[in-house]
Structure 1
C-alpha cells in the first residue's frame, strides 16, 4: 500500500464515524493491594485547560480564464476571467502559551485564509481571536484572545528529548471535542518529508488524526514539547506515525512574531547537503550525521565566523544535528542577529565557531511591505532608544518614493506614538487612506505622507 504524507487538515466540514460495540468489562480498580495505579489524570487536569479548539470560516476565491470562443461570442467587453467564491469552515486545535497576554499557538494551515477565528476554551467559553502573525514555511501561527482565567502550558527544552521518552497528544480530532492519546517519541530531527519548507520534526506514535493540527504534544510533566502538525496517513487515518514541530523551534518563532510582527529569518550563508556514508569515508571521519558545506557565501555570517567549504557541521549550540535540512531549519527559525555556536569537523579535527546570523534582505523588505505597501523596500528595526529605525532603503522602491532615507526613525503614526516595530504595525493596521508618519531625521522632526 502506498504511503502518503498529509497535513492534519483543518477543513473538517463533516465527519462520519462508525462506532463499534464494545464488550462489557469489569471495572478496573483504582488500587491493587492498597497501592494506587499509575495514572496521567493528575497531570492532564493541569494541562488540558491550556489546549483549545480552533474553528475558522472564510471564503476561497478562485479565478478561471474565460475561453476565447466565449469572449468572441459575447464581444470585446466579455470578461477575461471568471471569479468564483466558495465559503469554507474548518476545525483545528491550539495551545495557550501565555495566559496573561492571551497568546495561542496553532498551525498556519489551520487558520490560513480565514476571515473569522473562534476559540473554544476548555470551560465552554467561545472567544473571537485576532491573528498576530504567521510563518508559512514552518507552519506556525500566533493568535491572541481577550479572556480571563486562562491556563497556559509551560514549554520544555525540546532539544533534551530522547527517543523513547513518553509523549501525550492533546487536541480536537474530527471535531469530537478534546481528546488525549499517549505514546513515545519515536524519532527526532525528521526532515526531507516534503510537508513544510522548514522541517525538523519530532516523530511520535501517540494517535493523531485530522483536527489535531495545532494541538499539544506534552511530556509526563505536562510541559509542551511540540505542536502537532502532520501524519503519515495511507488510508486517511492514524497509523502511529505523527509529526510535531519542536517547542524550541516554536518558541523562537513566537518571540520574533511578538517583537517584530513577523518572522525575521536568520541566514547563515551556506549551501550544503546531508553527510552521506560515502562522503564520510572520503573525508576519513567516523561520524555519519551532519551537514556537509558545499559553498560559503562571501561576506555572510558563515564567512565572518570562519566556516569553510568542506566543513561538516555536526552541532548547533551544543546539540547534535542529523542532517543539513535540520541545520537549515534550526538556523532559519532562530532569527536574524542571534549568536549561534556551531560544532564542526574540519580535516578530521573537531572545532567550534560562533556566528551572528544575518537576515535575508529580500525577506526584510517584504516584511516592511506587509506593514504598509509604501514601506516596501525599507529595512525596519526597533530603535535602541524608541521608535522604528530605517536601516536601509532599496533604490527605486516604494519606500524611497515615499521620501524615507537610511537613518530615519519613525516615532509616530498620525497622533499615535510608536515605540517599536510591533506598535508601528498595530498603528498602521486599521488606517485607511493617507497616513502621516512622524520622522526624526538627524536633529529635526518632519512628517512624511504615505498614500
Structure 2
C-alpha cells in the first residue's frame, strides 16, 4: 500500500447538500417549519441507521523487533525477535439480512481478530462469527444471532452517476454512529494499490478512522457501497475517499454463503488500459476500455472467440472505462457465470458471450514450490511501486524461510534473472530450476537477492 493511503471511511458535506436542489430522480423530502419548508434526510435515516452497526475486535498478532548483533547468530531469526502482541480495533458494519443476521464489513476491520463484537444502534451487543472473508477485495461477512434486526436495501451500484448524492453512516474514531454526506466524485477507480481488486466509488466526503465497513447510501436509503479507504497525507482527509460498490460486495457475499470462500471466475486474458496512444496505434475510435494484449490458449476467452487486439468496452451492457475495472468485476463473479462482453474489433462493434472458468489459485504455501521456502505464505500482489509480484504474507518463526532471511512484506519479483509476476509463474520457474536459485526480492525501496540451494 502506498504511504498516502490508509484504510478508513466517510464524512461531511451537508452544507452543500442542503444548498442544492435534489436531482429529479431523487427528490429530498420537505418538512414545514412555520411557513418555511426545509429539506431533511431525517425520515430516511430513521429507517436506515438501525442497519449500521459498530464493530469492536480483539486478538493478537506477531510483532517483529530487530535484535542486537550479539543475539542475532544465537537466535537464528534473521536478526529479529518475534512475539505475539494483543491488539484491539474499531470499525463499522452493515446488516444486509435481518432474518439470518448477516453483517458485511471490511476484511481489514476483522483481520486476525479472535473476538468480534457487534453493537447495534439501540445498544444491544452480540458476539459475531466469520462466515467468509476476502483480503483481495477487502470484504468480510459476519453473522450474529439476534431478533428484531433492521436490514438495508441494496441499490444497483452500476447505475450510479458522477454527481449523485451520497450519505455515509459509520463509527468514526469510536464516537458512536455518525451520519455525513457528499457526492460521487468518480466511478471505476483502480490502480491505487490498496487492494488486489479495485473498482472503487470515489467520494469527496470526509473519511475518518473507524468508518471502515460502514454504509454509503443514496437518497432513498439504499446501499450503494461499503466505505473502505482514503487518499491523504498522514491518514488525514483531503476529500478523496473510496467505497467498494454494492454489486461487487453482493457477488462476494453470495459465494461466502454458498461455499464459505470466494471461488473466482476467470476470463483468461492479459491486457491493459486503453489510452490515446494505444488507440491511435490501433486506429480505434475510442480512448476508453480494456485492451486485450493476449488471450490465454484454452481459456474461457479463447473458447468464446476473443482475440488479441480486441477492445472491451462493455460488460453486461455497462460501459467499461479500463482494464483494471474489467479485472475487478470479473474477479468478484463466481465460476460458471455467463457474461456478455461488448468489444471493438477493427472498429467493428460486437458482442461475445463468455462462461467464466475457475481462476488459478492465487495463494500458496511456499513449501509446495520449494522445500527451502517452507514456513512462508505467498500470494499474488504488488510492490510499493505498484509492479506485480509475489508477496510474502507471513513467515513462521524458526522455519527454513526465516533462516533464508525472508520477511513478511517482501515481494518476489524475479528468479535467476527471469521476471516473476504471479505465484503460478514462480511455481513454473522453480519446477524447472535446479542447483543454486537466486530469488530477486523487493523490500520496501531496496532490491536484494536470496540464494536457495
For the Cα contact (< 8 Å) 1:66–1:79, is it kept in 2?
no
Bigger drift between 32-41 and 316-325 goes to 32-41
What's the secondary structure of 1:31's corresponding residue?
Answer: strand
Q: Matches of 1:208 and 1:294 in 2, distance apart?
A: 37
Tell me which residue corresponds to 2:166: 167
Query: Structure 2 stretches of 5 or more lacking a match?
Result: 10-29, 369-453
Tell me which residue corresponds to 2:333: 334
Q: Matches of 1:271 and 1:325 in 2, distance apart?
A: 11
Tell me which residue corresponds to 1:109: 108
> Is 1:6 equivalent to 2:30 in the alignment?
no
Superposition TM-score, scaled by structure 2 size: 0.72
Residues 9-408 of structure 1 correspond to what in structure 2 (within 5 A)? 31=32, 34-63=35-64, 69-70=70-71, 80=77, 82-362=81-361
What's the secondary structure of 1:334's corresponding residue?
Answer: coil
Structure 1 residue 311: Cα displacement? 0.1
Of structures 1 and 2, the larger Rg is shown by 1
Tell me which residue corresponds to 1:444: none
Q: Matches of 1:129 and 1:154 in 2, distance apart?
A: 21
For the Cα contact (< 8 Å) 2:285–2:347, is it kept in 1?
no
CA pair 64-35 structure 1, distance change in 2 beyond 3 A: closer
For the Cα contact (< 8 Å) 1:3–1:232, is it kept in 2?
no
Q: Matches of 1:206 and 1:288 in 2, distance apart?
A: 29
Structure with the larger RCO, 1 or 2 (CA within 8 Å, 6+ apart): 2
CA pair 7-364 structure 1, distance change in 2 beyond 3 A: closer
Q: Matches of 1:156 and 1:70 in 2, distance apart?
A: 58
Structure 1 residue 194: Cα displacement? 1.1
Q: Matches of 1:242 and 1:364 in 2, distance apart?
A: 29
Q: Matches of 1:277 and 1:152 in 2, distance apart?
A: 45
For the Cα contact (< 8 Å) 2:59–2:86, is it kept in 1?
yes
Structure 1 residue 192: Cα displacement? 0.8
Q: Matches of 2:303 and 2:72 in 1, distance apart?
A: 59
Q: Matches of 2:3 and 2:268 in 1, distance apart?
A: 35
Structure 1 residue 38: Cα displacement? 1.2
CA pair 71-212 structure 1, distance change in 2 beyond 3 A: closer
For the Cα contact (< 8 Å) 2:107–2:133, is it kept in 1?
yes
For the Cα contact (< 8 Å) 2:31–2:40, is it kept in 1?
no
What's the secondary structure of 2:136's corresponding residue?
Answer: coil
Q: Matches of 1:322 and 1:169 in 2, distance apart?
A: 26
Bigger drift between 56-65 and 152-161 goes to 56-65
CA pair 147-347 structure 1, distance change in 2 beyond 3 A: same
Tell me which residue corresponds to 1:415: none
The count of corresponding residues between Structure 1 and Structure 2 is 343
Q: Matches of 2:364 and 2:260 in 1, distance apart?
A: 14
Q: Matches of 1:30 and 1:307 in 2, distance apart?
A: 56
Q: Matches of 2:310 and 2:197 in 1, distance apart?
A: 22
Structure 1 residue 3: Cα displacement? 8.7
What's the secondary structure of 2:207's corresponding residue?
Answer: coil
What's the secondary structure of 2:361's corresponding residue?
Answer: helix
